[in-house]
Each structure stands twice: as C-alpha cells, then as structure tokens.
Chains A and B, each alone.
Chain A
Amino acid sequence: MKKNHRGEMGFMESMVSMMAVIVVIGLYLVFVTTSVVSAYSPLEDLDPESLIIDSPGGPEISESYAYMFVMNEGLKGMTITLSVPWFFEPKKMTIGVSSDAEYSQTFLSMTENPNGRMLPAMVEVRAFV
C-alpha cells in the first residue's frame, strides 16, 4: 500500500480502520448475545410455595404443579428434593429424563406442619432442558 509524503494511506487507511472497528463491535455483540442466552433460566418462573403441599404426614412435593411446570416450560425433565432439616427425611421426585444442559436452584420456604409447627424447608430443583 502506497503512503504519501506524510506517511498516510488515505482511503485505504480509512477502510482498514473501519474494518477494525466493525470486527471489535462484532465481537462485543457476540459476547452480549451469549451472555443473555446463558443468563436465561427456566426456573425463574417457578413458584416454590406452590411446589410444596401440606399433608398430615408432613410437607410433600406437589406432583401436579411439578408436571404442569415441566410441560409449560418445555423441559426434558426435572428433579426436586424437599428437605425439612431435623424433622423429616428428605423427599425426592424425578420427572422425565436428565440431560447435560441443566439449571439448578435452591429455594427456602416456610411450611405449616402437623400440630401447628412452622418450619423452614429447603427445595432443590434441577431442571433439564
């Protein structure tokens, strides 16, 4: 590429600069797109209160809500573990199949138990997409 007596390339220099800017902005947009996609979690719509039902034998996992959630979100499967430390053994429910793409989250909730006890419960949910 020829340079003039001031060491400038004129039109070609402008084109190279523009291409460099386009490449950097393109890379930034790719980064933004992948960040937004990875930030999405199907568990954002989950209501942990609805996932627990009170029964005479202690809190149980609501099978109907779990199935409805899996259907609505189009998940391949979901694993739910409900534990009320000290008072009840953990309960586990698996719906559908597992896959490599997995989102997991732990929720805390208050449960009303037999004899009027109000106890903290922990719900671990793993969603497979």
Chain B
Amino acid sequence: MNNRGMTAFVDAMIFLVVIMIAISVTITSTNNENRQDAGPDELLTLISRTEVRLSDITDIEDDTLVYLPDIMALSLIQETEVEEYLGELLDSVFGMKRYFLHYEYDDNEGSIGTEYSFYSIQDSRSIPVSTGGSINITLGIL
C-alpha cells in the first residue's frame, strides 16, 4: 500500500467512526424520548402521600386517617398488615420485575422483597413521621 492508499484507508476509518458515533447519539436520543413506566421515585412519592384509615391495615379499631409512612414506622414495633399491602402494591406496579423495599425508623428496620447487590434503578426518601423523626425508605428495582 502506497501513501495515497494509506491516506484513503485512514479516511475511510474516520468516516466509519463518525457514522458510528452518529448512530450511537441517535439511539440514545430516541430512547430518551420514550416515556418510561413508573419507577421507584414516582412510587416513593405516592407512598409518602398515601392516607389510609388506621383500621384498614392494622388491628386497631380506629378510623382515623393516617399517612402510610406512619403505619410503616408503627409496623416495626407492632404487628400490622402494611407489609402485605405494600407487597401487593409493588407486585402490581413492577409486575415480574424484582424489587427490594427497605425502611428504617429509629433503630428498627424492615424490608419487603429480595435483597440483591445491584439494582437498575434505586431511590431513597426520608419522610417525616407524625410521632417525631423520619422514616428512611429505599426502593430498588432489578
């Protein structure tokens, strides 16, 4: 191969690299245009805003409206049905996707799902509890 042949070869390689970069940028930008289904961030926001009656998911005969994070904190020291409720909610939202919800209040902690070392999306939230302090909730999806 002479000098001109070498120049043409390098020229062709540069052209191919430019086209490959352009394709990569196109794929990335079109993927971002797709609306994503619900993720941990959205679900944690909804959990923080959820209000139920105390009697809905506890054995306490009291129809007072309470925020779900309050009952999650309560469930760490007392038997409630909040784990079953959250499990049903997470199952219906993420379907076959595997998830892990971890929450801790004071020195107590609880979890729903199976813990893995890696999650494709993960989000955490610290939500104030009406009895004082905050409950830290982390939700990861495989």
Contact = CB atoms under 8 A, between A and B. Distances in A.
A36 B53 CA distance: 47
Contacts of A25: 19
A31 B4 contact: no
Given A32-B26, A85-B88, A6 B15 contact: no
B35 A106 contact: no
B49 A110 contact: yes
Contacts of B26: 31-32, 35
Interface string B45-58: 01101111100110
B134 to A, nearest CB: 20
Contacts of A67: none
Contact of A86 (B19, B30, B34, B85): B85
Contacts, number: 79
Nearest to A121: B46
A101 interface: no
Contacts of A41: 34-35
Interface stretch (B36-44, B100-108, B109-117, B125-133): B36-44
Interface of B: 2, 4-5, 8, 15-16, 19, 22-23, 26-27, 30, 33-35, 37-38, 42-43, 46-47, 49-53, 56-57, 63, 65, 84-85, 88-89, 91-93
Given A24-B16, A86-B89, A122-B92, 5 more contacts: A7-B5, A8-B4, A28-B22, A38-B30, A110-B49
